[in-house]
Amino acid sequence: MTIHQPPKPGTALWVYAHPRRGSLNDRLFTAGVEALSQRYQVLTSDLHDQRFDPVLSDRDLGDSAGKPGNIAELVGEAYTRGQTPEDVRTEQAKIAAAELLIVQFPLWWYGPPAILKGWFDRVFTSGFAYGDIDPELGLPRRYGDGGLAGRKALIVVTAGEDAKSIGPRGISGDLDSLLFPLTHGVLWYVGIETLDLHVIHDADSLDGSGVDHEIERLRQRVRTVGSEPARRYRRLRDGDYHGTRALREDLLPGRTDLGIHLAAGRDRRPTT
């Protein structure tokens, strides 16, 4: 059973995934945490500095190590028995406390670095982040519900490409679509709403004034982040995916883009 984790008001967690000190990301991280600290108690998870091990393995299974079965369910059993490894418990305690999650990383091969993916693999476990069944609807509490509902997340991402090449018609694909597995498949899955992405374009070619501009832009963003509206996706429990978990045929017929999963009023694209 998943125990809902109510956040502590005024607490934020900044998860940071970049290996180099003195880099653009490092400067953004330092400045962003400082600015956010003016309004929140800020916890941090500097994954490289902590030498966080991203590899899910038998140590995450407790007494279930070597037992056949679904590995996600076995990890959940270990959580229920209090056998979650200490490094993961530490991260889960930070998330449980935070009402705001900042996730910062460079875009590598059109996705987050492996260390961040592994952080989600090991930390967002069954029993902690998801796992319940709604007794009235008979549906799993996922996609808008779950153990981490009631939180918002801001993704801060640096990209080497310009806004057009990684935009809606860009050769590299639309960044919102590229990060859909994170915003929808990870965060919304466990109930966390996401804000509009904060993107630093042309990150590899910024000069000194460009870096200063991006640092100040991030400072300004995090100073007002608490009042921003979330980008709401459709909830599983509301019936839009009744029967097959595919969007009902009568909703936005003919469309197959990822924007169909946004709740009404958040999609600016044509409906036909």
- The string of pLDDT tens digits covering residues 9-18 is 899 999 999 9
Helix H segments across the chain?
A: 24-36, 71-80, 86-97, 114-123, 175-178, 180-182, 208-223
Q: Check if the beta carbon of residue 75 is closer than 8 Å to that of residue 9.
A: no
Q: For the chain, what is the domain count?
A: 1
Report yes or no on 226 lying in a domain. Answer: yes
Domain, as residue range, for 130: 11-232
Any idea what the CATH number is for the domain that residue 130 is in? 3.40.50.360
20 has a pLDDT exceeding 60: yes
The predicted model scores a pTM of 0.90
Res. 269 pLDDT band, cuts 50 70 90: very low
Report yes or no on 87 lying in a domain. Answer: yes
- The string of pLDDT tens digits covering residues 168-225 is 888 888 999 999 999 999 999 999 999 999 999 988 988 999 889 999 999 999 999 9
Report yes or no on 237 lying in a domain. Answer: no
Span of 22-36, 53-67, 251-265 with lowest mean pLDDT: 251-265
